[in-house]
Amino acid sequence: MEQISPSSDAAARRILDRLWAPGRELLGCEVAILGGAMSWISERNLVSAISNAGGFGVLAGGSMPPDLLAAEITATQAMTDRPFGVNLITLHPELDALIDVCADLKVGHVVLAGGLPSSASIKRIKEFGAKVLCFSPALVLAKKLIRAGADGLIIEGAEAGGHIGPVTTGVLAQEILPQIDQVPVFVAGGIARGDALAAYLEMGAAGVQLGTRFVCASECIAHPDFKKAFIKASARDAVPTVQIDPQFPVIPVRALTNQGTRRFMEMQREVIDRYRAGEIDQKTAQLEIEHFWAGALRRAVIDGDVENGSLMAGQSVGMVTREQPTAEIIGELVDQAVAAIAARRHISG
Ligand SMILES: Cc1cc2nc3c(=O)[nH]c(=O)nc-3n(C[C@H](O)[C@H](O)[C@H](O)COP(=O)(O)O)c2cc1C
């Protein structure tokens, strides 16, 4: 890491604090770094560790029934008295009940993911006093979400791990950041170092969201073999799932290639052949394709089946080189951002 003198370090830290002040204010934390919700991974331990280290942890509540979500929120509240968020998936059949759980447990921030949220959901969350953050995949939707009451936006580029859109973080940032000043905007996807964090802040972001970089945090409960796969992988190993026939859409998910991703290609071919031979109808074929990955993330994260499970990971996985305490990861990101700001602004001691 570049050495900077104490006075230039202090000046750069002041600039950093000014740059992400709107993000810190909205989230109520020291450093505007969100630990993006990751199913099975972002549970009480990692979420509280991120918030306790000054960042903003987000619980992955998307696939939980209301009673499990309530238990996880309560457990997280017992492990940190700092703010954290709850991520809910808009397509969840019990979304309203999950929102009620957040209301009962006085959750301060809800992140709505997985499709465009309705104005009604946003309103329902704001009514109990929580802030709402929404993912915005395009400028026109960003404006729509702000009109619907979103308090903050997350823009996530295709470099990210998990379910992805088609546009890169760099392009989304250029399209959206200069046009939105009504609410804080957080940038996600492909960020693993403080230099990149500083660059997005300088472009107008209020903070950043990282997922992949936190998987190998010591506090993260992911199976040791899941973490090992991350430490071993390089950027080019994290690729989106491939759809082999436009008639049978596949939602792109970025993950490390393994036996499962190879088998998925073969399986699509087999199912589509059976459809073409008239053995199954289109709906059955589509369902078989969709069901292939059911439970696969859990198999990899919890059971450690890194060959057949889903190793969702972003391209930044190449910069994950060892297991580290969460506070050290956040400290490194901040120090790198400070050094980058000092260097770019030619602050001298
Ligand atoms: C293993 C894994 C699981 C994820 N699961 C979810 C999820 O359940 N809900 C969600 O909104 N985002 C999910 N994401 C996306 C992250 O919250 C975050 O936005 C993303 O990881 C940021 O990009 P990065 O991976 O390049 O850091 C997941 C990402 C990973 C790597």
pLDDT at 337: 98
In a domain, 164, yes or no: yes
pLDDT above 70 for 140: yes
- Ligand 1 centroid–CA 312 distance in Å is 8
C-alpha span between 85 and 102 (Å, rounded): 10
Q: Are residues 217 and 241 located together in one domain of the fold?
A: no
C-alpha span between 90 and 120 (Å, rounded): 11
* Closest ligand 1 atom number to CA of residue 297: 1
CA distances from 220 to 58, 223, 255, 303 (A): 13, 9, 18, 14
In a domain, 1, yes or no: no
* Closest ligand 1 atom number to CA of residue 39: 8
Residues in contact with ligand 1 by the CB-under-6-Å rule are 36-39, 41, 60, 62, 87, 113, 156, 159-162, 188-191, 209-213, 312-314, 316
- Ligand 1 centroid–CA 276 distance in Å is 36
The model's pLDDT over 88-101, given as tens digits with 9 standing for 90+, comes to 999 999 999 999 99
Q: Are residues 142 and 121 located together in one domain of the fold?
A: yes
- The pair of three-digit structure tokens given for residue 54, joined into one six-digit string: 């000054």
Q: Residue 260: which domain range?
A: 234-312
The model's pLDDT over 18-70, given as tens digits with 9 standing for 90+, comes to 999 999 999 999 999 999 999 999 999 999 999 999 999 999 998 899 999 99
- Ligand 1 centroid–CA 4 distance in Å is 33
**Which of 33, 38, 98 maximizes ligand 1 atoms within 8 Å of its Cβ, making it the mutation to test the pocket?**
38
* Closest ligand 1 atom number to CA of residue 192: 27
Q: Are residues 217 and 238 located together in one domain of the fold?
A: no
In a domain, 94, yes or no: yes
pLDDT at 8: 84
Of all protein residues, whose CA lies closest to atom 3 belonging to ligand 1? Answer: 38
Q: Are residues 35 and 184 located together in one domain of the fold?
A: yes
**Closest to 155 (Cα-Cα) out of 133, 179, 172:** 172
**Which of 33, 39, 329 maximizes ligand 1 atoms within 8 Å of its Cβ, making it the mutation to test the pocket?**
39
Q: Are residues 247 and 163 located together in one domain of the fold?
A: no
Radius of gyration of the chain (CA): 20
Q: Are residues 199 and 255 located together in one domain of the fold?
A: no
Q: Are residues 47 and 134 located together in one domain of the fold?
A: yes
The model's pLDDT over 230-278, given as tens digits with 9 standing for 90+, comes to 999 999 999 999 999 999 999 999 999 999 999 999 999 999 999 999 9
Model confidence at 2, in pLDDT bands (50, 70, 90)? Answer: very low
Q: Are residues 48 and 161 located together in one domain of the fold?
A: yes
Q: Are residues 337 and 240 located together in one domain of the fold?
A: no
- Ligand 1 centroid–CA 49 distance in Å is 17
- Ligand 1 centroid–CA 151 distance in Å is 20
- Ligand 1 centroid–CA 195 distance in Å is 21
In a domain, 100, yes or no: yes
pLDDT above 70 for 117: yes
Model confidence at 346, in pLDDT bands (50, 70, 90)? Answer: low
Of all protein residues, whose CA lies closest to atom 17 belonging to ligand 1? Answer: 36
The model's pLDDT over 296-325, given as tens digits with 9 standing for 90+, comes to 999 999 999 999 999 999 999 999 999 999
Q: What is the CATH number of the domain that holds 336?
A: 3.20.20.70
- Ligand 1 centroid–CA 342 distance in Å is 30
Q: Are residues 185 and 306 located together in one domain of the fold?
A: no
C-alpha span between 239 and 256 (Å, rounded): 6
pLDDT at 345: 78
CA 154, 160, 161, 166 dihedral sign is positive
- End-to-end C-alpha distance for the chain, whole angstroms: 17
pLDDT above 80 for 7: no
In a domain, 229, yes or no: no
Of all protein residues, whose CA lies closest to atom 10 belonging to ligand 1? Answer: 37
- Ligand 1 centroid–CA 149 distance in Å is 24
Give how many domains the chain has, as a whole number. 2
pLDDT above 90 for 105: yes
Calculate mean pLDDT across residues 204-226: 98
- DSSP symbols for 1-34: -----HHHHHHHHHHHHHHTHHHHHHHTSSS-EE
**Closest to 166 (Cα-Cα) out of 253, 46, 294, 238:** 253
Q: Are residues 264 and 202 located together in one domain of the fold?
A: no
* Closest ligand 1 atom number to CA of residue 159: 26
Q: Are residues 19 and 151 located together in one domain of the fold?
A: yes
* Closest ligand 1 atom number to CA of residue 301: 1
